[in-house]
Amino acid sequence: MENPILKDPRELFHTEKFEKQDQDTPALQAKMNPKPDCGEKSYVGNKKLENRRVLITGGDSGIGRAAAIAFAKEGADVAIQFYPGEEKDANEVAECIQEAGRKACLLPYDLREESTPKQIIEQAVADLGGLDTLVLNAAQQISKKSIEELSIQQIRDTFTINIIAMFELVQLALPNLPAGSSIITTTSVQAFDPSDHLLDYAATKAAIANFTIGLAKQLASKGIRVNGVAPGPIWTPLQLDHGQPQGALPDFGQESLLGRAGQPVELAPVYVFLASNDASYVTAQIYGVTGGEAINL
């Protein structure tokens, strides 16, 4: 009898402290050290999403990038929205999608601009020939140690990007989504255990969790499933772009039960499952990928 293939989760990926580093806005994955593993080489597809037409916001780096690459390797055509200025990362993702033999569509739009959601949906539908899967993942995360330092403009921007854009994108996409479609949001462990330095970000993530379950109740009668993923500390460009308190980056993720930060590719199978027909009886759920921290509604 052959031995089972087991991997100690404590010893996977990057297990050491991170070096001190930061970037100007927008932070690029291409400049990170170490560069996050988004499944460029490590993810292996199994044709679970053959010929699906997917829109992913924030799809150029981090978790959105991992989802985009995995979806393409599973057989989907993918449109990715990204913040203008992140073209280098977006082009890398497009290359990965095309190497998987699928169509890649790049949508450089700033979600803070009023007309953006309409343009994103219209272009995605036109380029992909339809739409059946939404991964609403784009986010702004800026650390501020006190509410006195938190500008109202930052609060407005964080809410606009993180949750208001979700409402608009779903409203505009809905007429194009047939029965069997899937909507997946990215919330966070911050929705359930907020950090004091991420007051606005954590509040939006709590709103996203609530939005996800409420929307699932609305759309079940249309045969559309809605679920969310709640990541814990994941090594992404968000952390380098003022996403962590000064001096905190080297220890990022080290306090998780598994003793390390997660990598974006470790979330990809969850997004694939929730989008696929394997999850046909799964809706109104939040899946935690947190390294051990509990999530509760």
Q: Is 43 a catalytic residue?
A: no
Give dist(CA 7, CA 168) in Å, integer: 42
Provide the residue type at 234 as one letter: I
* SS percent in the chain: helix, strand, coil, step 5: 40, 15, 45
What tokens does 246 get? 């000064």
- Give me the phi and psi of 273, to 5 degrees please: -60, -50
What tokens does 216 get? 């699932």
Q: Which of 43, 83, 109, 201 is catalytic?
A: 201
Round to the nearest angstrom and report the end-to-end CA distance of the chain: 44
Instruction: Please list the residues that pair with 80 across neighbouring strands.
Output: 56, 106
Give dist(CA 260, CA 271) in Å, integer: 21
Q: Considering only the C-alpha atoms of the chain, give the largest distance between any 2 of them, rounded to a whole number of Å.
A: 64
**Are the C-beta atoms of 201 and 139 separated by less than 8 Å?**
yes
What tokens does 247 get? 């001096």
Catalytic residues, which ones? Answer: 201
